[in-house]
Amino acid sequence: MKLIVTRDYESLSKAAAEMVRKEIEKKKDTVLGLATGSTPIGMYNELIRMHREEGLDFSRVVTFNLDEYVGIGYDDPNSYHYYMNANFFDHININKNNVHIPDGNSENMEESCRLYDELIEKKGGIDLQILGIGANGHIGFNEPGEELYVGTCVVNLDERTIKDNSRFFKSIDDVPTKAITMGIGSIMKARKIILLASGKNKREAIKRLVEGKKVTTRLPASFLLLHPDVTVIVDEEAYGISR
């Protein structure tokens, strides 16, 4: 696992965007795994700038998002469908037919999960997966617990996740309790992975991850220790350096 500690959130975002740019320049039809949340916003802004000012071309890029809430309308600003359009896709020249986000409103969830993993494989697998990390160590919505799902699945959200994500909702009672997420196995199949973490809230999870001693379902991100090509980019606050 490679660790990059950046001075602040801005340089973290630029470092991550630069890695995505390299991947797209190497392979025009790169398959990207994408994340939502506060952390990747700066990276998306930088990629939008690269598109506008430097002509970074997304026309053949294929994307798969990590997760989506269950039972939330896609016109709801808290849905990840809405987030991705508003924060990224509406501002670049991506072909929306190449965009894939798990369906949190499917009539047949089990089938929809199976088809999502199948589609990732059909598109040749994920070349570069972007991840955030929960303060509880989750990746995607693979929450700490006794066991983890291998493939895309429906999960109950952890209390900590519901609390952390309630900042986006009117009240904590409005936060969905279930989500559809790529499983740990779906994530681990990506050829290259970048995990981003910013701010004090992530310090404990990052400390446990970079200590790198144990793989445990209690810290889902620890499975990344088994992956051959992971870069963890953290800012000094997340790493535990205070200036």
Rounded to whole angstroms, how far apart are CA atoms 11 and 17?
Answer: 10
Active site residue 65: no
Q: Closest approach of Cβ 179 to ligand PGA, in Å?
A: 11
Under rule CB under 6 A, residue 134 binds ligand PGA: yes
Residue 16: Cβ-neighbour burial (10 angstroms; 0-12, 13-18, 19+) = buried
Structure tokens at 92: 């670049």
**Nearest residue to the partner ligand PGA, using Cβ:** 37
Residue 233 main-chain phi, psi, to 5 deg: -110, 120
| Residues 6+ positions from 29 with CB-CB distance below 8 Å | 60, 61, 62
The active-site residue, picked from 103, 143, 235, 237, is 143
Active site residue 146: no
Q: Closest approach of Cβ 120 to ligand PGA, in Å?
A: 19
The active-site residue, picked from 65, 98, 136, 165, is 136
| Residues 6+ positions from 145 with CB-CB distance below 8 Å | 158, 217, 218
| Helices within the chain (DSSP H only) | 9-26, 41-54, 80-87, 109-122, 159-165, 184-188, 203-211, 236-239
Under rule CB under 6 A, residue 38 binds ligand PGA: yes
Under rule CB under 6 A, residue 219 binds ligand PGA: no
Active site residue 143: yes
Total residues contacting ligand PGA by CB under 6 A comes to 6
Q: Closest approach of Cβ 138 to ligand PGA, in Å?
A: 6
- What are the b/e assignments for 139-152, b being 16+ CB within 10 Å? bbbbbbeeebbebb
Q: Can you tell me which of 70, 84, 133, 182 binds ligand PGA, judged by CB under 6 A? A: 133
Under rule CB under 6 A, residue 137 binds ligand PGA: no
Q: Closest approach of Cβ 65 to ligand PGA, in Å?
A: 12
DSSP 75: T
Under rule CB under 6 A, residue 132 binds ligand PGA: yes
Under rule CB under 6 A, residue 33 binds ligand PGA: no
Positions marked active-site: 67, 136, 138, 143
In the complex, the residues that contact ligand PGA under the rule CB under 6 A are 37-39, 132-134
